[in-house]
Amino acid sequence: MTDEAPDGKNNKGQSVRGLVYPENRKNTMENETSKPDILSLSYEELEELILSVGEKKFRTSQIFPQLHRGLMPGQMTNISKKTAAAIEEAADCFLPQIDIKLTSQIDGTVKYLFRLQDGNCIETVLMKYNHGNTVCVSSQVGCRMGCAFCASTIGGKVRDLTAGEILGQVIAVQADSGERVDNIVMMGIGEPLDNYENVLKFLHNVNDARGICIGYRHISLSTCGHVDGIRRLAAEKLPITLSLSLHAHDDETRSAIMPVNKRWGIDETLRACREYMDSTGRRISFEYTLIKGKNCTPSDAGALAARLNRIMRAEAGCPIHVNIIPVNAVRETGLEPPDKAAIEAFCSVLEKKGIRATVRRRLGPDINASCGQLRRQSRAGAENGTESTSCVTENKN
C-alpha cells in the first residue's frame, strides 16, 4: 500500500505520495515492534497468547472482558503479577491516551484527541442522542483520499490504524465517560475501506459477545466510494449500515471535489451500493455536503434525484435517504456552506422527487467537532504555542 490517492493526486492536483509529517514518521519507525497489539487480538488469538506464556486457557475468559473494559494486564487484580508481566512482555498493551478533551457546552458532545503509542494523534467523538451514545471513530492517521472539503486529508495519510487502535477508541471513551457506547459510526479520520483488513478485524472484535459486544446493526461505516472495498464488504454479509459520501450528482463535479471519483465513477459506485444492499439486506444512506457555488442549486438537486432514482430505486425498489450536510468552513479549503434558503430549496426538490432528505444537525458547533479539525489545530498550536478553542478544554498532559 502507498500513501498515494486512488488517482495519484490530491484535490490540489499534487501527488500525495510520501506526504507524511516527518516527526510522525520518525515516531512510527522508532516504535515498530514485532509484538502483537493486544487489543487487536481476537478471543481465540488471545487464548493462544495466554497458553504461550504458560497460563491456563480458562484465563482468557477473565482477561478478554477486562481488556475490553480498558484494563491492561498490570491493572488486573485477578491475575498474578508474574502472568501480567509475561503477557505485557509478549504483547503491546496500550490504550489510546487522552491528549485533549473538549466538551460542548451546547449539546454535550465530547471530542477527544487521542495520542497513540507512537506519538501520532487521532480524533474520536462521543455524541449523545435520545436513542443512546454514539462514538465516531477514526480508522487511519490522516487520509490519502484527498476530498476537497476535508481537513483530515490536508497532510495526506500517515499510516493505517491497527484493529486494536480502532477498538481502543471505543474502550477509552467508555472508560472516560463511564457510559455504555450503544452505536459506532466509522466516520472519523481516514477511509475505512482503505484499511480493510484492520477494519474488518475491528468489526469482528467489537461485536464479540465476550467483550464489548456492540451489534453489527448498531455500526455504520462511511466510505467516500471505495468500490473494491464496498464489494469485499458486501461479500462478508455483515448487517452493518453503509453510508456513501456522494456530494455531487455528476462525475465532473464529484471528481473535482473527490479524487476517488476519477477511479470509480458515480454509476459504478451506486451499482456497488446496490450490490451491498442486495447482499446484506441493509439500506444505504447517502451523504451530500452542500458547498456554496459547487453543488447546491435546485437543478443540482433535481439531477441528484434522477440519478439516485434511476440506479437505486428503479432497480432495487428501496426507499432512498439523503443526509444533507452544509460544509464546515475550514480555513485551508476556502469552502463555504450555502445560506438557509438555498438549503431548504435543495431539500424541497429532493422531497418532491420522492427522496427523503434530512439536514444533519451540527453537533458540538463550539468544539469544531467535524473530522480532522482538532488534530490540525492541535498541530498548529503545538507549532506556534497557542490554543485556539474557547470551550471547555481538559488538556491531559
123 noted as active-site residue: yes
Question: Is 93 labeled as catalytic in the residue annotation?
Answer: no
In the bound state with ligand SF4, the residue whose beta carbon lies nearer, of 40 and 153, is: 153
CB of 5 to ligand SF4, least distance (A): 9
Q: How far apart are CA 216 and CA 207, in angstroms?
A: 7
* Least Cβ distance, residue 345 to ligand SF4 (angstroms): 25
Alpha carbon distance 137, 149 (integer Å): 19
- The binding site for ligand SF4 (CB under 6 A) comprises 143, 145, 147, 150, 152-153, 189-191, 224, 371
Closest distance of CB 43 from ligand SF4, Å: 30
- Of residues 4, 55, 123, 165, which has the active-site annotation? 123
Q: Which is nearer to ligand SF4, 14 or 62 (CB)?
A: 14
Burial (CB < 10 A; 0-12, 13-18, 19+), residue 166, is buried
- Least separation in angstroms between residue 196's CB and ligand SF4 is 14
Q: How far is the CB of 289 from ligand SF4 (least distance, A)?
A: 9
The residue among 212 and 248 lying less far from ligand SF4, judged by its C-beta, is 248
- Please list the residues that pair with 71 across neighbouring strands: none
What is the Rg, in whole angstroms, of the alpha carbon atoms belonging to the chain? 21
Alpha-carbon dihedral sign for residues 204, 209, 215, 219: negative
Cβ closest to ligand SF4, residue 99 vs residue 191:
191
C-alpha cell at 395: 488538556
CB of residue 14 to ligand SF4, shortest distance in Å: 14
**Min dist. Cβ of residue 137 to ligand SF4 (A):** 12
> Which CB, 172 or 189, lies closer to ligand SF4?
189
d(CA 113, CA 393): 11
The residues annotated with a catalytic role in the active site are 123, 371
